Amino acid sequence: MSRVPTLAQRWQPGYGVAGILSSAVHSRPDETYLEDRFGVSLTYSETEAAVRRLAFYLDKHGVKRGDRVGIHMSNRAEIAVALYAVSLLGGIYVVLNANLKPKGLVKILDQAEPVAVIADDTTVENIGQEFEIKTKIVVSGETVPEGWVSWEDAQHSPSQMGGWHGFDVDAACLVFTSGSTGTPRGVTLSHENICYVVGAIQDRLNYQSEDTIGCFLPLAFDYGLYQIFLAAQAGAKLYIGDPGQVGPRLPQVMKEAGVSVLPGVPSVYAALIALGRRKPLELPELRAITNTGERLPLSYIEEMQNMFPGLEVFVMYGLTECKRVSIMKPCEFSEHSDSVGRPLAGTEVYAVDEEGNRLPAGEVGELVVRGRHVALGYWKAREETAKRFRKRAPEAAVELFTGDSGSVDEDGFIYFSARSDDWLKHRGNRISPVEIENEACTIDGIVEASLHQRESDDTLHLFVTRSDDGIDEKAILKALSETLEPAKVPDAIRILEEMPKSINGKIDRKALAGTLAE
């Protein structure tokens, strides 16, 4: 019978997610690690001390190995402290978006069944009495609700430190994504998954200890969440901003924070580009940007490099189920601008046909990923896990069948075509919306584009935002008809003041599709 180690035995530098922090503490203890918009600033050693205090408090109140702990806050430094503390205990952290609607929050909490939750004054009311959660901690706020304890009180616990006796193959976190059935599904990632892929990503991105990484993405979004680990891996500083800052003040906020690396999704760069088109901006000294979530149009890359001379652009492809698949090196981009790069070290990617047979180089099929970062599966969802995480033989490694279509050439470069749910069948033609959206974004004055099909009459509708009011629907259609095949030219252009966005900052395609049904 295995014995659950005491807290004093659990901390061992270099092991598990908590080891990412402890390794950085050994090399850069007095350098600033975390800053946020609330004025919090913590060095690496101060972060570690706060982690150990919180871990001791949670341990004292019954959080043990394998228990889930919900972290439900607006973007702030305390999220990083909380997830490291849970990891140190061998628990499983679940970072929940602050903008989750009550119905969505209930669906996730019912699945995760957390024994503890950490909230702040913007989210504490979301955790009602109907949730039987024993330990509840609240950050900030003038008053502490009944049944809760303040973050400050939890931080008064004594600091103890010892070896960590967990296992790298244990589950470390659940990242909930929208499932194909409409029910959120929790991607279950192990310590090994996370630590391995963080090292592989850093090998490709090469973040510097002098960098300040500006994160304006929700930390509940895995792309935002991993910036916590990537910053520590490099010994860099992480400025934790908020998605609400992606607007007119973003360049000023970035400059004041000294941001040199900006991870983003296309809507973040679209906002910067639109601002730059309207008036000259006082810009930060940005040296690199990274992109995922949706394909970054070539026109965006060109405009960003015009705004920030010498800017390195890292185009990437990934899924929550394995975090990152590929990253394009900037030096390879000019010759492979249609690609999303080559697989990370230790990662194999290939395309298969509908029967699961491996396709020759260059042929389009479903992309399959192999590697140590492939997740353990979906939390309490055996059927969905079996569909996506498969073994070709009992002795074989698990492979991730992504549901995405694309191809891999003879040199290993991956060419992404579309997510499985994105392909459109229009008047007998199979169409990828990405191709048409990217083409639209090359038109002067167009900032964002999203293509949708109205099934009732099989018409294509292109929603766009613009920075130049002089360009109208007729001009857009004329420009597209000059570069696209007739079957791919939209039937209608819909100009919007602003694109609806999901809680992760991506274009909310469901909301746009809903307008066509009205």
Count helices and strands in the chain by DSSP H and E runs: 15, 27
143 pLDDT exceeds 50? yes
Domain 44-190 matching CATH 3.40.50.980: the answer reads yes
132 pLDDT exceeds 80? yes
396 pLDDT exceeds 80? yes
- Over residues 422-444, mean pLDDT: 77
Residue 165, token pair as written in the block: 């006796």
Look at residue 214 and give its three-state secondary structure: strand
Residue 130's pLDDT is 67
179 pLDDT exceeds 80? no
160 pLDDT exceeds 70? no
Q: List Cα–Cα distances, 512 to 246, 247, 489, 494, in angstroms.
A: 21, 21, 18, 10
155 pLDDT exceeds 50? yes
Residue 85's pLDDT is 94
Q: Please, what is the end-to-end C-alpha distance for the chain in angstroms? A: 61
- What topology does CATH give the domain 340-420? Luciferase; domain 3 (2.30.38)
428 pLDDT exceeds 70? no
| 424-517 CATH pick, 3.40.50.300, 3.30.470.20, 3.30.70.20, 3.30.300.30 | 3.30.300.30
Residue 162's pLDDT is 52
Per the CB < 8 A criterion, the answer to whether 287 and 261 are in contact is yes
CB atoms within 10 A of CB 256: 11
**Which residue, among 198, 231, 201, 229, has the nearest Cα to 214 in the 3D structure?**
231
DSSP states of 22-40: HHHHHH-TTSEEEEETTS-
Identify the band that residue 165 occupies on the pLDDT scale cut at 50, 70 and 90: low
79 pLDDT exceeds 80? yes
- Over residues 133-158, mean pLDDT: 89
Residue 213's pLDDT is 98
Identify the band that residue 70 occupies on the pLDDT scale cut at 50, 70 and 90: very high
Look up the pTM and report it: 0.84
> Which one-letter DSSP state was computed for residue 4?
P
Query: Mean pLDDT score of the chain, rounded to an integer?
Result: 89
Write down the domain spans for the chain.
44-190, 340-420, 424-517
Residue 7's pLDDT is 39
9 pLDDT exceeds 80? no
294 pLDDT exceeds 90? no
CA distance 209 to 211: 5
pLDDT tens track for 300-345: 899 999 999 999 999 999 999 999 999 999 999 999 999 999 999 9
Which stretches within 308-447 are classed as H helix? 330-333, 382-388, 433-440
Residue 20, token pair as written in the block: 């990412």
CA distance 327 to 288: 13
Within 13 Å and on the Cβ side, how many CA atoms surround 56?
17
